[in-house]
Amino acid sequence: MAKITSKSGLTEGVNIIIDEGAKTIQLLAAGGLVFKDGVTMQAVYSFCVDAWATAAKQDSPFPFYALDNLSGQYQIGTDGASFNGWTFSDTATRTAIRDAGWSEFNAAGVETAQYVGAVGLGSITPATTCQPYYHLAETDAAINFPFTDQFNVGVKVKDNVGLDKKTYFKAYIREYGKKFKSSTLADTGSSGTGPFKQNFLVANEDDLKITGLLGSVAATADAAMSGAPYNGITVAYYSANQTRSIGGSNYNFKIIIEGNGGTLEQIYAKVQYLLRQNSDINVGGTAGTKTGKIQSDLLSFVGDTLVTSQSVFIDDVLSADSNRVEFYDDSNTKRVNPYTAAGTMTFNAPLVGAGSSYRLMYAAGPGASDDFGESGAITVLDASDNPITGTISSGSISFTFDYDGDSAGGTAGTDKNVVLIGIKPGTGKYVSATGTLTRSKAIALSLVAEVDRVYSPA
């Protein structure tokens, strides 16, 4: 079925009941009216106008006062000149009203309630299972809209017994495998709700960063969150700034994600999972309880680059991923890591095993007597300032290099020629090879040694 937009879709006694004695209007899920699809307030109002044009209803005061249909402003319980106590009979009837907000008045002229007509714009999928929700204050619990699919329904924001929450409204749609979306009053240029329509842009789309990593089945993906590395990826919210160093300078952040050595895609997947939870996700932070599903978004992907929200930092990012992430500090200024080059050194079988060794040195140092082949030859340091040397424990050893910051082999931020040497007494002859450290994540250096059949350990 579809939303009823015309009075002709309503039939008294079938899907609308006007009870003059009780002064109530009731909508019923019958005669083409499906509550999830609903009926516009304009159709209900127009139906009542026609009904009161007949003698049968004219002994009763008219239930409505319509201010403006375009902005969806209606009143019930008044005809605009006097108050009469007409009202909707039940909550179900109210949830079936579309494209309108309204006030309700009792016979004494007291406004008993205000409903904002919350209307979501855009498409959310899958419509049969996507459950949008909202809250009326930043610390309020989340409340599901009464139906799945895009929302268009009256939400009570004020009554005469204490409820008055008209200055804040935030709507969300967060589903597994979909990009998250939320919308606040500020997004619409409004500062408050009331008895009128209020649009919110809440649409979703496929999130291939999630489904490409974990598949399309939500239950299977969620179950994976209890295993490595996801079980160690956490979020901490702090009430005071936390300092983190980026490129040698300190910056302030109030939300720290523990990356636990996961890839950026794994970190993102776990954070999105946490932001769907109706429970406290603050692990180790000082900012109190943070219910996941009502917290602001923390991360997003732009292509293959992970971008943080304001004041969000990620600890323990893989070196290989360090230049795929953009941090926004507490002042909402973008900060990025200096470029870290990365590569792999490969060794043939005679060089691998106990007693072996390798070392990476600059072919030409910046000073005197520091070139390879000279007494002061400089060993290259990795991005963590550790010498790139050691035992050849396997046929492939990865390494990093602070391309933008390292000046030991010459001017920082420039390509540098290097020499890799390797040896394993008794099986692999001494061998060397030249290469270049470039601004790349795929630097390849290789050593192929002859089998040493001459060496004698005696």
Residues 314-363: tens digit of each pLDDT: 999 998 899 999 999 999 999 999 999 999 999 999 999 999 999 999 99
- Mean pLDDT in residue range 277-288: 98
Same domain? 94 vs 2: yes
Q: Are residues 241 and 329 in the same domain?
A: yes
In a domain, 115, yes or no: no
Structural domain contains residue 370: yes
Q: Answer yes or no: pTM beyond 0.75.
A: yes
Domain count, the chain: 4
Residues 308 and 349 in one domain: no
Is there a single domain that holds both residue 328 and residue 349? no
DSSP assignment of 244-256 = EEETTEEEEEEEE
Whether the per-residue pLDDT at 373 is higher than 90: the answer is yes
- Shared domain for 381 and 362, answered yes or no, is yes
Residue type at 143 in one-letter notation: I
Q: Does residue 129 share a domain with residue 21?
A: no
* Lookup result for tokens 């523990």: 258
In a domain, 429, yes or no: yes
Q: Clarify whether residues 191 and 219 are in a common domain.
A: no
Last residue of some domain: 146, 178, 206? 206
Calculate mean pLDDT across residues 247-262. Answer: 96
Q: Is 90 exceeded by the pLDDT of residue 458?
A: no
Q: Is residue 17 a part of any domain in this protein?
A: yes
Tell me: do 242 and 189 sit in the same domain: no
- Whose tokens are 């017994």? That residue is 161
374 has pLDDT over 80: yes
If you ran DSSP here, which 8-state letter would residue 127 be given?
T
| 147 and 248 fall within a common domain | no
For 44-53, 222-231, 405-414, 417-426, which range has the lowest pLDDT when averaged over its residues?
A: 405-414
Whether residue 370 is predicted with pLDDT greater than 90 in this model: the reply is yes
Query: To the nearest whole number, what is the mean pLDDT of the chain?
Result: 97
- DSSP track, 387-429: BSEE---SSEEEEEEETTT--TTSSTTS-EEEEEEEEETTTEE
Looking at the fold, whether 300 and 217 belong to one and the same domain comes out as yes
**Assigned domain for 458 exists:** no
pLDDT digits (tens, 9 = 90+) for 146-168: 999 999 999 999 999 999 999 99
Is 92 in the same domain as 136?
no
Q: What is the pLDDT of residue 247?
A: 86
Average pLDDT over residues 422-442: 97
**What is the pLDDT, as a whole number, of residue 188?**
85
Query: Does residue 452 belong to any structural domain of this protein?
Result: no
Domain that holds residue 381: 340-447
Domain for residue 244, yes or no?
yes
Q: Are residues 237 and 315 in the same domain?
A: yes
Listing DSSP states for 324-372 in one string gives SEEEE-TT--EEEPPPEEEEEEEE-GGG-STT-EEEEEESS-SSTT-ST
pLDDT in tens, 54-84: 999 999 999 999 999 999 999 999 999 999 9
Assigned domain for 457 exists: no
Q: What is the pLDDT of residue 1?
A: 67
Q: Are 433 and 364 in contact (CB under 8 A)?
A: no
Start-to-end Cα distance in the chain: 92
Question: Which CATH number goes with the domain that contains 396?
Answer: 2.60.40
